[in-house]
Amino acid sequence: QVKKQCDQKLLIRIKTKCVPCSLNLDTQCPAGYTKITNGTGTPDCRYYLEVKAHTLSFPGCRHHCVKEFEQPECCQGHWGPDCMGK
């Protein structure tokens, strides 16, 4: 039995919105994603607050999330929707 389908595993990485670190404990990743940071997340961003005519910038935190995704692909020498051919 020759293997015709050689799916590729892709890891999609995203980051949540930057918020004050104290508010980031309960931040959830979007549906289907797994949170890979703990606690308040990673303090690697800035969030902005508008106060009257000024925009203030503060250090904040965000979480990193990943999702594994299988991309259907044919093995070498096969093609088409059913990965036939040779």
Residue 60 host element (H or E)? strand 54-62
Examine residue 3 and state whether it is found in any structural domain, yes or no. no
Which pLDDT belongs to residue 85?
67
Residue 66, domain member (yes or no): yes
Percent of the chain with pLDDT over 90: 73
Q: Which domain holds residue 42?
A: 8-85
For the chain, the domain total comes to: 1
Mind listing the pLDDT tens digit for each residue in 49-68? 999 899 999 999 999 999 99
Tokens coding 67: 């999702």
Report in angstroms the alpha-carbon separations of 28 from 14, 42, 73, 78, 83.
Answer: 12, 14, 32, 41, 38
Distance of CA 55 to the CA centre of its chain: 29
Higher per-residue pLDDT: 47 or 5? 47
Residue that wins the pLDDT comparison between 78 and 45: 45
What's the distance, Cα to Cα, between the start and end of the chain in Å? 14
Is 1 within the bounds of a domain? Answer: no
Between CA 28 and CA 20 the distance in angstroms is 15
